[in-house]
Amino acid sequence: MLSRRSVRIKIMQILYAQHRDKELNNSEVLELYKDSVEKTFELFLLNLFLMIEIAKVSVEDEGKRVSKYVPTEDDRLFKSTLYHNDIIKGLVNNKNLKLRFSNLKFSKNIDSDIIKKLYKSFSEQDSYIDYWHNRKGLEDDRKILLELYRFLRASEIFNELMEEMYYQWISEKSVVIGAVKKVLKRTDFEDDFILEYIPSKETTEVFGRNLLEKTLTIEPEFEKYVVPRLLKWDKDRVAVVDTVFIKMSLAEILYFETIPCNVTLNEYVELSKDYSTDKSKEFINGVMDKVVRDLKDKGLVKKNI
């Protein structure tokens, strides 16, 4: 579920937080990283939970329509297939998923009125009206659930709820969205299917935690190999995020033998475009390109540039 890029972003954000809060020690930083990984998975679960709960309101909608004293033709035609379909049923009946929802207390922590409000807004969409008028089968169910999820992601109410419950929502959004869409496109929902979406140890521990640990202790190498390359700049005036990216890339270059240097440099240059200043990409690339060549000349880096 989490890519190396996502992990690098998490580490950058945590190291930036440590720079701003000098009282954060390295042990606390490592705990923050562990918590951040767990919260990404919880956000994914929360998105699935809300999809189920919003779909469930269609059952209540059908009941109200049927019980009207003078139901309209649309009332008679309406069916709660947004909830009663194989995809939602597969999620609702999944014991593993149900247990995780319960442990995270989503039901207690989310106002049911918000869920009803989101359903009501969606129920007015042409795509939903067309769905319950003309539904033919599973593929239509899948399309409308993906449409519902698109609608939610564009909803201010939904995004406010996400941010209120998990401040990581903005930075984790793309990762979570990708995983939820994969679930909605599934055809099987065995009890352990959700385990496929737990962030892998290979990415979060072998790569991520190790990178964070190495970066936390990289200062001597930074002073020795990078600072001499900052002659044109006052190192204390270099943007904090740029310094963090340079330290992370240095740790990756020195201690991750299987990642080519050019891959590392490209990754941090790309990240700097999203998280730092306009000139950061040239700065980071220029400095680290020279550092890598110095390290190779000294025999400290054996891998390919």
Rounded to the nearest integer, the mean pLDDT of the chain is 95
Q: Which tokens go with 32?
A: 């923050």
Same structural domain, 127 and 253: no
Same structural domain, 133 and 277: no
Same structural domain, 136 and 270: no
Residue 210 lies in a domain: no
3-state helix/strand/coil string of the chain: CCCHHHHHHHHHHHHHHHHHCCCCCHHHHHHHHHHHHHHHHHHHHHHHHHHHHHHHHHHHHHHHHHCCCCCCHHHHHCCCCCCCCHHHHHHHCCHHHHHHHHHCCHHHHCCHHHHHHHHHHHHCCHHHHHHHHHCCCHHHHHHHHHHHHHHHHCCHHHHHHHHHHCCCHHHHHHHHHHHHHHHHCCCCCCCCHHHHHCCCHHHHHHHHHHHHHHHHCCHHHHHHHHHHHHCCCCHHHCCHHHHHHHHHHHHHHHHCCCCCHHHHHHHHHHHHHHHCCCCHHHHHHHHHHHHHHHHHHCCCCCCCC
Residue 225 lies in a domain: yes
Position 41 pLDDT exceeds 90: yes
Same structural domain, 123 and 26: yes
Same structural domain, 150 and 246: no
Same structural domain, 62 and 179: yes
Residue 279 lies in a domain: yes
Position 101 pLDDT exceeds 70: yes
Q: Which of 50-64, 105-119, 236-250 has the lowest mean pLDDT?
A: 236-250
Residue 262 lies in a domain: yes
pLDDT range class, residue 303, cuts 50, 70, 90: confident
Residue 211 lies in a domain: no
Residue 304 lies in a domain: no
Residue 206 lies in a domain: no
Give the mean pLDDT of 15-41: 96
pLDDT (0 to 100) of residue 236: 60
Same structural domain, 184 and 265: no
CA–CA separation, 87 vs 82, rounded Å? Answer: 9
State which of 131, 165, 197 marks the end of a domain: 197
pLDDT (0 to 100) of residue 230: 85
Span 229-271, pLDDT tens digits: 887 766 666 889 999 999 999 999 999 999 999 999 999 999 9
Range of the domain at 39: 4-197
Position 219 pLDDT exceeds 80: yes
Residue 18 lies in a domain: yes
Span 128-187, pLDDT tens digits: 999 999 999 999 999 999 999 999 999 999 999 999 999 989 989 999 999 999 999 999
Q: What is the pTM of this model?
A: 0.91
Same structural domain, 66 and 27: yes
Same structural domain, 130 and 233: no
Span 279-302, pLDDT tens digits: 899 999 999 999 999 999 999 998
- Number of domains into which the chain is organized: 2
State which of 197, 227, 244 marks the end of a domain: 197
Same structural domain, 184 and 222: no
State which of 197, 232, 253 marks the end of a domain: 197
Q: Which of 63-67, 100-104, 207-211, 231-235 has the lowest mean pLDDT?
A: 231-235
Same structural domain, 174 and 276: no
Same structural domain, 124 and 272: no
- The CATH number of whichever domain residue 224 belongs to comes to 1.10.940.10
